[in-house]
Amino acid sequence: MPDILVQYEAEIWVSIGETFIMVGASLGAAILLGLPVGTLLFLCRKGEVIENRLVFTVLNLLVNIIRSFPFLLLVVFLIPFTRLIIGTAIGTTAAIVPLSIIAIAHYSRLVEQSLLDVPKGVMEAAISMGASVKEIVFKFLYVETRSGLVLGLTTSIISFISYSTIMGVVGGGGIGDFAIRYGYQQFKTDLMIYMIIIMIILVQLIQFTGTTIARIIDKR
Amino acid sequence: MIKLVNVSKSFSRFKVIKSVSLTIDKGEVHGIIGASGAGKSTLLRLVNLLEIPDEGEVRVNGQNLTNLRSKELRQARKSIGMIFQHFNLVANKTVYENVAVSLELANFPKKERKDRVIECLQFVGLEDLMKQYPAQLSGGQKQRVAIARALANNPQVLLCDEPTSSLDPNISAEILGVLENINKVLGVTIVIVSHEMEVIKSICNRVTVMANGEIYDTVLTEPIGIHHIDKSPSYFIEQLAKVGEMDDA
């Protein structure tokens, strides 16, 4: 192992840990809230089972607005809100707030798009069999679109890693922040490159895992 | 069994069904035929309220569906089976799971589900393909799965929307044979929408002819049997010749 990595080993592990916490929290927010929001966006569309113009318009606008922010500005803009719910706007825990918000907006859009690919006929068959909205979602929509949901989540996780590198501005830490502070600002270019390599490996692993799972569960 | 009273349906100002009344008796195999755009599919979809009528009443098995609340309507739909031109199976569910889902929706007792699914698949001759996914089946097999799914909850009515229109003539005949059996053996009332005269003539004992969103006529017929649908290559040649004549004229 190169000397410089040995020298900073402890700090690197801490950074990797911080990245995992931030990305993990984003992932949790994407699944727990992004999935339902995306499903609601789809179901409230014109012609869908619970067509509701008001809910659709509000959610759609909200998702668009959040995604319009350059992420750095969103982080800064949300500082008062973060302080309100976490008590501080600084640190890895505080970083979870803006990351979760972008994660929900990001993944909900991908969920909506995946659901749009479900053939209309399958929905009709479900309705003709007397399925309730909940049953349509869990027994038909999610089953039929499961590989799309996994691929969307894979894309989202990779974006979350990228977003997490910004969190250094509020003391969130992470690999990206480490690369900037130690590699770039202290002129240790080789250290920065090693950090980039770690991220490339991470992204490759995630993409490979996501694509493989999606392929295995896709029987269409 | 099925009674439509002055039902109308419009799609963005275009009146697709114009105050239609129709009564279909228990045990009938009722055909609805007409040119494309005549409103026959819409009429069929009004029966289980897949399309909600703008006016009029839809009665199935003595129940006025148009008055029901959504929960009651879902319950009523469980005794009205439906099959489609493009089968509409869940591609990520196996043959077994596709049939089982309709039992799950109806809260069919868990212990008896497996037996019931197998029974239905045996009825359509597909018990050996239980573990396959729809993508591995032929068109005719997919339609059989759809039929098994529609039958699982012992429906009193089976609605068929162009059930053979995307199948070869010989496969069509097989599917019509299955439908005929469902009517004769299980006593299910069947409504078939088709633009193919052969299909209607083969198994229907009453036929409604539709044009421009209205019923042109309803007539009693003698089903001439599924053998009428020719399986030989000469059938295709004749059809091709007919197309040629039409082009000439």
- Looking at the partner chain, which of A130, A143, A146 has a beta carbon nearest the beta carbon of B105? A130
Query: Does any domain span residue A54?
Result: yes
Residue A37 is assigned to a structural domain of this protein: yes
The pLDDT-based confidence of B230 (bands split at 50, 70, 90) is low
Asked whether residue A5 is assigned to any structural domain, the reply reads no
- Residue A49 covered by a domain: yes
Q: What is the mean pLDDT of residues B104-129?
A: 95
B50 pLDDT band, cuts 50/70/90, is: very high
What is the Cα–Cα distance from B207 to A98, expressed in whole angstroms? 64
Interface touch A135/B92, C-beta < 8 Å = no
Q: How many CB atoms lie within 10 A of CB B66?
A: 17
pLDDT for the residue numbered B13: 86
* Mean pLDDT (chain B, rounded): 90
Residue A3 inside a domain? The answer is no
Answer with the residue of higher pLDDT: B229 or A91: A91
pLDDT for the residue numbered B97 = 97
pTM summary value: 0.89
> What is the overall mean pLDDT for chain A?
95
Pick from A127, A129, A146 the residue to mutate for testing the B interface (most B CBs within 10 Å). Answer: A129
- Rounded to 5 degrees, φ, ψ at A96 are -65, -30
In a domain, A32, yes or no: yes
Residue B89 is classified by DSSP as -
A199/A194 Cα distance (integer angstroms)? 9
For A14, the domain range is: 10-217
Among chain A residues, the shortest Cα distance to B135 is held by A220
Helix, strand, or coil here: B20? strand
Is residue A4, in this structure, part of any structural domain at all? Answer: no
**What are A182's two structure tokens?**
């130690």
Determine the pLDDT at residue B235: 55
Position A36 pLDDT exceeds 90 = yes
What domain count does chain A have? 1
Separation between Cα atoms, residue A64 and residue A53, nearest integer Å: 16
User: CA-based angle A106:A112:A113, to the nearest 5?
Assistant: 95
The model's confidence at residue B244, banded by pLDDT at 50, 70 and 90, is low
- Residues of chain B with Cβ-Cβ distance to A137 below 8 Å are none
Write out chain A residues lying below 8 Å of B74, CB-based. 130-132
Which residues of chain B make contact with A135, given a CB cutoff of 8 A? 105
Q: Span B38-63, mean pLDDT? A: 94
Residue A1 is assigned to a structural domain of this protein: no
Q: How far is CA A42 from CA A62, A68, A167, B114, in A?
A: 15, 20, 31, 33
Residue type, B18: K
CATH number for A156: 1.10.3720.10
- Span A96-112, average pLDDT: 97
A157 pLDDT exceeds 70? yes
For the stretch B131-149, pLDDT in tens is 999 999 999 999 999 999 9
Complex ipTM more than 0.90, yes or no? no
